[in-house]
Amino acid sequence: MIQVLAFYLFACLAVLSGALVVLSRNPVHSVLWLILAFFNAAGLMVLAGAEFIAMLLVIVYVGAVAVLFLFVVMMLNIDFAELRAGFIKNAPLGALVAVVLLVELLVVVILGQAGPVTLGTPDGSAAPLLGEGNTENIGALLYTRYIFLFELAGIVLLVSLIGAVVLTHRESRAIRAHQNIARQNARRPEDATELKQPESGKGVSL
């Protein structure tokens, strides 16, 4: 019963915040909603017995990816006065998201007191193996059974890295002004200046 309640809480909030990611006009708000969506997805993962993926969602997605998004979105328009004004404007929403997260944390802690959560599929057939956490299971499978795909995923990341460099890196030598000291020292006054004595009343042609 408690699990079902928690499931609907997390699921509704996930769908709602997911919709708000798309609907809100302010990109900073979108990222804040996204954080909430990630957090609720993590809650769902805990209910499904996949605590490792839940932790990944919180640590990697909320902790790193979403915060990076937030930085990038805020960097897009570097106007500090506006940024400060934006902070005050965004503060209520940020506080709201924070409060929701806090409430959810409390819910998890209180529900945790009520006994272990085993949900998986309705008939429990997909429940994790007994005796081992699924962190161990994932580790054992990832480096044995799925080693080929795991390494290939590494190649995918490498390709995205190469792609980013290919598309953005520029040889900056032509643009940046280099100080060539030897050339400066070799330059004589007569190379750079010219003395002319124009007759009075006439100009010089340069």
List helix spans (H) across the chain: 2-23, 27-47, 51-56, 67-75, 80-113, 134-142, 147-168, 181-186, 189-192
Q: Which of 26, 136, 146, 187 binds other proteins (CB under 8 A)?
A: 146
For other proteins, the binding residue among 67, 95, 103, 159 (CB under 8 A) is 159
Q: How many CA atoms does the CB half-sphere of 111 hold within 13 Å?
A: 20
Asked whether position 68 contacts other proteins by CB under 8 A, the answer is: no
Binding residue for other proteins, selected from 22, 88, 113, 148, defined by CB under 8 A: 148
The reply on whether position 137 binds other proteins by CB under 8 A is: no
CA gap 175, 70 in Å, rounded: 32
145 binds other proteins (CB under 8 A): yes
Distance CA 67, CA 82 (A): 20
Piece of 79-87, 112-120, 164-172, 194-202 that binds other proteins (CB under 8 A) = 164-172
Name the residue nearer to other proteins (CB basis): 173 or 183.
173
- Cα 94 to chain centroid distance, Å, stands at 17
> Per CB under 8 A, does 165 bind other proteins?
yes
Q: Per-residue string for binding with other proteins, 96-135, x by CB under 8 A? A: ------------------------------x---------
Q: Which is nearer to other proteins, 130 or 166 (CB)?
A: 166
Name the phi and psi angles at 104, rounded to 5. Answer: -65, -40
Residues 200 and 52: their CA atoms lie apart, in Å, by 92
When the beta carbons of 40 and 97 are compared against other proteins, the nearer one is: 40
CB of 46 to other proteins, least distance (A): 18
- State the CB neighbour count (10 A cutoff) for residue 56: 17
Rounded CA separation 203/206 (Å) = 9
Considering only 19, 67, 95, 149, the residue that binds other proteins (CB under 8 A) is 149
C-alpha to C-alpha distance for 44 and 21, rounded to whole angstroms: 19
Binding site for other proteins (CB under 8 A): 126, 145-149, 152-153, 155-156, 158-160, 162-163, 165-167
